[in-house]
Amino acid sequence: MIPPMLLDVGLIAIGFVLLWKGSEYFVTAAAEVARRIGVSDLVIGLTLVSLSTTLPEFVASTMASYAGSGGIAVGNAVGSNITNIAFILGTCMILEGYKVEPLVLKRYGIALLSVCLLFVLFAMGGITRIEGVLLLSIFVGYMIILSREKHTRREMREATKEMRGIPVEPSWKVMGRLLIGVASVFIGARLLVDSAINIAASLNVLESAIGSTIVALGTSLPEFAVSLRALRENYEQISVGNILGANTFNMLWVIGFSALINPLELDRNLLYFNVPVMIGITILLLIFIRTGYQLKRKEGIVFIIIYILFLIKNYY
């Protein structure tokens, strides 16, 4: 007979794979659908990619909120922001330094820091349904502004090339891929959340700790895949913009909808450690970008060290 803990670990691994592959299926199909209804490759590349890579966070946090596990719901969003910057971007910075366009900092960086600070303001007394509606309203406005803004030639070139790499397929294949992607993400998120709750109970650790680490790592896999591919193909602006955009979406779309399902309470671990870490590394990233508009390997090492310490502190 398989020990329950080992079974949960196995189910989490399966959930990781389903989330990763499901998100890939979804983004290619959704991009083709958007293209067929007249959305430009530029808008698809700069908005849909970040939106689709946060789909696992959205589904996992929504399911956790519905199940009454607010610690996992909030922990997943906060932990994903930390994972995206400290682990994913840190790893990419070590592999190859980035040159960052000043407009990326202006468009994505300031927006991210602003919504993170707004989240902190709401989090002090718990996030209510009304505050969830407000976050979702800001998200809609942000998406409209993002799609209408002027973009640099480099961004336009990278975004359109990214979308042109998606093959044109028959309609039935596109819809099939879309349905398979959505189903895989939902099943993977369910396995991940349920198993994470079981492990938290078995190890007698806070659900927010599991949500901020194991669940967050699993739901951040699509961002990792997009960032690595963008790095390999020299699409630095898409790589950095995807991380900053995804983190903004986590604070607005993911937290907003989760609070709409059930009001969210933050435990001491989230409020006094994980959230300050998220704010701290966000500010640190913006400082790194602002100093010469480059992200260097040594700065990537700093992020990885912070991430390791973050993991240790959540369990000890």
CB burial class (10 A; 0-12, 13-18, 19+) of residue 13? middle
Rounded mean pLDDT of 57-61? Answer: 92
Residues making up the chain, counted from first to last: 316
80 in Cβ contact with 216 (< 8 Å) = yes
Q: What span, in angstroms and rounded, lies between the C-alpha atoms of 168 and 29?
A: 10
pLDDT, residue 209, reads 93
What distance in Å separates the CA atoms of residue 105 and residue 296, rounded to the nearest whole number? 16
In which domain, by residue range, is 249 found? 4-315
Q: Is the pLDDT of residue 146 over 80?
A: no
Mean pLDDT within 250-271: 95
Bridge partners, 295 (sequence order): 98
**Above 50 in pLDDT, residue 63?**
yes
CATH of the domain at 307: 1.20.1420.30
Report the range of poorest mean pLDDT among 159-163, 204-208, 255-259: 159-163
Phi, psi torsion values for 264, nearest 5 degrees: -110, 130
pLDDT tens per residue, range 148-190: 765 554 554 544 454 455 555 566 677 888 888 888 888 988 8
Q: Please tell me the distance from the alpha carbon of residue 168 to that of residue 77, in angstroms, as a whole number.
A: 33
DSSP character at residue 295: E
| Cα 97-76-131 angle, rounded to 5 deg | 110
Do 129 and 291 meet the contact criterion of CB atoms below 8 Å apart? no
Average pLDDT over residues 89-118: 86
Per-residue pLDDT of 299-312, as tens digits, reads 999 999 999 999 99
Higher pLDDT, 44 or 74: 74
pLDDT beyond 60 at 226 = yes
Output the pLDDT for position 163. Answer: 47
Q: How many domains does the chain have?
A: 1
